[in-house]
A and B are shown apart, each in its own frame.
Chain A
Amino acid sequence: MAKWGMVIDLDKCTGCQACTTACSMENNTLPGETWQDVLYYTAGENPSGQMKWLPRPCMQCENPSCVHVCPTRATYKDEEAGGIVFVDWNKCIGCKYCMIACPYGVRFYADEKPLIEPDIRDVFPGENGQLWSPPYQNPEEDWRRGIGIQPPGVVSKCTFCYHKVRHAPEGVADLDEDNPEVKEYVPACVRTCAPKARYFGDLDNPDSQVNRLIGDKHGVRLKDHTGNRPQVYYLGAGAGVPAFTPADRENDA
């Protein structure tokens, strides 16, 4: 079985957030339920100020702290599915401990106050057990893997678009959207990335493009000190995440 990994080249990323919107439409997340997000950081001052950004999917950690804390095994790392970390919506009790335990802040409890008013859940009310039911929803659904629109009261997260990836041919080294044979199996964020800053492939295959990129361009993992060992690697300048500083303090003279 492959070990699915993602590589994000920050030297090519333009911070446009197409990954974010592609994800939100593919997975019908609520506004603000950003399974995939782009984080912006600024520093310095005119004329030498800097701004950097960092696309952030779920890291699908090799040693996922969210999985360890889940009291019900609702969240689990599925080695059979390439090491993707799923939430089984049939088992999740909504204790949110995994959200506490995830160092990357990639888990969502969408049963929260609407992040934008009017509440779109009132506009497209939930049907058939779903939290909300927009008319444009993806017909793909698998609650055991947290795919589709979630019911109320559970935690949701990025699935590496497993509903697509699962169809990948056995033994394929890379899911490259430019290869027409496999483009439908490529995660939405990777598939749409215009500057091709994202790559998706098998980390267990030394010949895969993701491994070559990690090797050639010194791939790093974010917050590696946590020991979670993400299956998402970053290339290029900008992978250093600044320590949090409240905005007010940041610009203190």
Chain B
Amino acid sequence: MKLFQTLINRRRFLQSSAAVGAAGAVTTGFTGLTGLTQAPPARAQPTRGETTITKNVCAQCPARCGIDVYTTDGRVHAIYGTSDNPISNGKLCPKGHLGSYFLYDPDRFKGPMKRTNPNKGRDEDPGFVPISWEEALDTVAERLNDLRRREESHRFAMFYGRGWGASDAGIQYPFGELYGTPNAAIGHSSMCADGSKKAKQATDGNNSYSSYDYRNVNYLLIMGASFLEAFRPYNNVMQMWGHMRTKSPKTRVTTVDVRMSPTMAASDHALYIKPGTDGAFALAVAHVILTEGLWNREFAGDFTNPRLRFLAGQRISPVTFEEKWVHGLADWWNEELKDRTPEWAEAITGIEAEQIRRTAVEFGSTRPAVALFERGATGHSNGTYNGMAIHSLNALVGSLFAEGGIGYQVGPSYGKLPVEVADYQDDYARNGAWKEQPRLDMKGTDRWPMVGNMMQECARNHLDADPYTLDTAMFYYTNPIWSAPTPQVWEEALKDVFVIDTSPFPGETAMYADIVLPDCTYLERTQDVPTYPFEGWPMAELRTPAVEPIHDTRMYGDVVIELGKRIEGPMGDYYRELGNLENYIRHLAAGFADDPGDNGVDGFESWKEKGVWYKKPYQWRQIRGDFYEWDGERYSRQMSAEEVKQHLFKTPSGKFEVRSGYLEQHADYIERELGIPRARAGLVQWVEPVYTGGDGDLHFVTPKTPLHAEGRGANIPQQMMVHQPIVGGRNTVYLEVHPQTARERGIRNGDRVRIISDVGSIEAECRFVASHRPDTLVLPFEFGHWAQGRWAKGRGPGNSSEITANVSDPISGLASYYTGKVRLERA
């Protein structure tokens, strides 16, 4: 062999310079059997044009990774993370690279269209015919003007999903105020993750997702958050994961979830919990932290007498405990926590008491420690209370606003717009009949007093004409007719509504559209993108088009401005003054002149060049139970209790509240909806979940995979081919089922099965995952489209939303996507 290889190497050396190739004509049109046609010429690097890199922001999840878009000869051909972007740091998640598919998706809408078939339904061809932008905009504007003349402008609603910033979703609010509708910005947050925001609002007063200091955390307790699959900002979370797992000391991770997942697999401990019972687990952890004396005394407070302690089952005298930043701790112990032993929790959660105790001791004795959660814990009827219980662990160990702890996001220093809404409102806008109308989703009414949005209610409300029916609805970046719980109701509801869809892609909602005003894809847009909660310090990014729109599409912000210009009265002047989207964004960027970013960004041009404006560090920090403000060099200026209340703990008490003043304000409602006695409404407590779906014997969860691009990835072949690696799901998504559960029902690995709830039934192929809980079925959420493009359409399994009841947490309004119970049978 040696001799052979020497021979080979010699020969190869002799040959390496002389590329062998047969000159000849290019192959014919036949795709195959080139050997039978003429050989193609030898090919080496051809000449090519110059490559330009434009700064953009990925749009496949909310994380807002800054991206470098590589364009050569007018074609986008690569996307990488931007190196000097604080979120992406040159990296991307698996979705990010696939962005060029969105741009060149062959099924994209090529321009504005109107419907010719008045009938709407799954099997109805809309009969779209192309129209000009002028005609499209005029048609919509005429309809809106007509509604306004009839004083029915409230029957116009604008629904949005993935809003990016001031220049798209943000632009809708003034539209409503000027035009006269309470429904100008019905967001999808109640179908997203409002539970965690509400849990935080109820405890620390911040109606927001948290920012995290992963760089310095030493213990992570992850509950129902799909940390390594979908937790925002996913890309950065993974960067931090690499850091946490190799730094000294290595960050220990315990994950509590209802299913096997990459996060569970990669953690130090994986604990499988019964769906909807995360609160019980967290309460037991809190119980142990207190009984073992592991709480952070500097932050939470301490007994006045050092010999006193928390003993299971025994009350303490409130006067003997001096609370510091945790309001209501003594009450919490006496009224709730003292009986929440690990043994109690084991019976509810299915996690052994010993595991709970171990987790509590680790969590309580490793600083800094952070407990984080998402809708695995909050997507249930008791979601807000579950979230509060988990978040309270952060208070017990003092990780709020601490180094290695959690905080909240600060907004960017945007400039003012050249126009004020108040200056352009006519009498109707100020005092018209629309002012008497509630929002269509009944947000802020007695029905949903605490919610942020309630989009999932709109279809039902319209059908019931309660509070009224819709006339015209415009959709931006949302597709509720497919993604809402029980979307069958939307299919019915939107039949007699004039629908305007702005998606670039032929989604289900677009199939109901009367007018399509297609947006540009993100690689063709100018758009401001303030960060999602990240590390707390302010940050705003900017999309710059890599290419001119490749089809006759317009950015949504410009569409709203153009519609505004066409509305009668002073409103039109507002939008004429605003001009266009770029002008709008330039005014935002003007704010940076007075507050230049760390990277020198001080206006529109530099923002465009860098793609991001940001200012580090986070303004505040809690150190050993005291709060300090950044003075430019260190955290040295101690804050008063009032300042803490103003900036950090925005609760009635100005502290972290384990007896929530916010919830106590709604005690009657809570008593009515959840059966919790008024007096206990504010306590962080265990509330039994109410599962939906009927008498099914199995829990049903529909997690996101790392490749799930918020429903926009279902028409991307590259994505489908690697979608569900856990069970080899390519081309489709398999139902993941415990083998014992399957065999009891006569189901073999790979069989076709039917999943049934009282709302409907869907079919799927199953594959066995013995690591899952036997009582829990797992169907990653992705397919089941009846539109959305040639690859998505008709691809199984069925749409899990169709067997998900439209039931929501009464407090947060979060749709209970993960609380369904189902039956399983062979199909």
Contact = CB atoms under 8 A, between A and B. Distances in A.
Interface of A: 9, 11-12, 14-18, 20-22, 24-26, 31-32, 34, 37-40, 42, 44-47, 49-53, 73, 76, 78-80, 88-91, 93-94, 111, 115-116, 118, 120-121, 123-126, 128-129, 131, 134-144, 148, 151-153, 163, 177-178, 180, 183, 188, 191-197, 247-248, 250-251, 253
Interface string B700-726: 000000110000000001111110011
A112 to B, nearest CB: 11
Given A40-B725, A195-B238, 15 more contacts: A20-B722, A39-B725, A42-B770, A46-B773, A51-B262, A51-B771, A73-B12, A118-B791, A136-B103, A139-B49, A139-B73, A140-B45, A152-B32, A195-B243, A248-B748
A80 B743 CA distance: 57
Contact of A46 (B19, B239, B707, B772): B772
Given A45-B770, A192-B97, A194-B91, A116 B44 contact: no
B228 to A, nearest CB: 5
Contact of A15 (B31, B81, B92, B262): B262
Nearest to A125: B31
B749 interface: yes
A183 to B, nearest CB: 6
The CB with the most chain B CB atoms within 10 A, among A14, A73, A251, is that of: A14
20 contacts: A14-B262, A15-B266, A18-B94, A18-B97, A25-B79, A45-B770, A46-B770, A47-B271, A73-B15, A115-B731, A129-B40, A136-B103, A141-B43, A142-B43, A144-B19, A144-B43, A195-B242, A248-B748, A251-B749, A253-B739
A153 B75 contact: no
A76 B45 contact: no
B31 A142 contact: no
A20 B94 contact: yes
Interface in B95-120: 95-98, 100-101, 103-104, 106
Nearest to B238: A194
B90 A152 contact: no
A212 to B, nearest CB: 14
Nearest to A24: B718
Contact of A153 (B9, B35, B80, B238): B35
A49 B770 contact: yes
Interface of chain B, main secondary structure: loop
Contact of B235 (A52, A139, A194, A248): A194
Interface of chain A, main secondary structure: loop
Contacts of A194: 91-93, 235-236, 238-239, 241-242
A173 to B, nearest CB: 20
B678 interface: no
B638 interface: no
A228 B31 CA distance: 35
Contacts of B33: 152-153
Contact of B34 (A20, A47, A153): A153
A2 B48 CA distance: 28
Interface stretch (B20-28, B284-292, B558-566, B659-667): B20-28
B99 to A, nearest CB: 9
B617 interface: no
A177 B90 CA distance: 8
Contact of A25 (B21, B97, B238): B97
Contacts of A40: 725-726, 728
Contact of A152 (B34, B103, B236): B34
Contact of A139 (B72, B98, B270): B72
A15 B768 CA distance: 20
B31 A126 contact: yes
B770 A76 contact: no
Nearest to A194: B238
B20 A90 contact: yes
B761 interface: no
A195 B239 contact: yes
Interface in B136-151: none
B774 interface: yes
Contact of A14 (B46, B49, B89, B228): B228
B35 A136 contact: no
Contact of B771 (A42, A120, A128, A178): A42
B42 A143 contact: yes
Nearest to A23: B97
B93 A16 contact: yes
Contacts of B718: 21, 24-25, 31
B769 interface: yes
Nearest to B550: A135
B262 A144 contact: no
Contacts of A90: 19-22, 42-43
Contacts of A78: 16
In the complex, the 6 A-B pairs of residues with the closest C-beta atoms, listed nearest first: A49-B771, A195-B242, A143-B43, A194-B238, A136-B100, A51-B265
B228 A144 contact: no
A138 B35 CA distance: 26
B78 interface: yes
B262 A183 contact: no
Interface in B545-593: none
Given A38-B725, A50-B771, A15 B228 contact: yes
Contacts of A76: 12
Contacts of B81: 192
Contacts of B750: 247-248
The CB with the most chain B CB atoms within 10 A, among A11, A89, A135, A153, is that of: A135
Contact of B706 (A17, A118, A138, A247): A17
Interface string B181-206: 00000000000000000000000000
B740 interface: yes
B767 interface: yes
Interface string B731-743: 1000000111001
Contact of B80 (A124, A141, A192): A192
B320 interface: no
B745 interface: no
A196 B243 CA distance: 8
Given A18-B97, A50-B771, A93 B35 contact: yes
B43 A89 contact: yes
B246 interface: yes
B178 interface: no
A151 B22 CA distance: 14
B430 interface: no
B77 interface: yes
B705 to A, nearest CB: 9
B76 interface: yes
Contact of B720 (A31, A126, A139, A180): A31
B272 interface: yes
A44 B771 CA distance: 7
A51 B44 contact: no
A47 B21 CA distance: 59
B314 interface: no
Contact of A52 (B265, B738, B774): B265
B238 A11 contact: no
The CB with the most chain A CB atoms within 10 A, among B33, B94, B246, is that of: B94
B347 to A, nearest CB: 16
A142 B771 contact: no
Nearest to A121: B31
B599 interface: no
B796 to A, nearest CB: 13
A8 B478 CA distance: 39
B80 A191 contact: yes
The CB with the most chain B CB atoms within 10 A, among A22, A79, A118, A177, is that of: A22
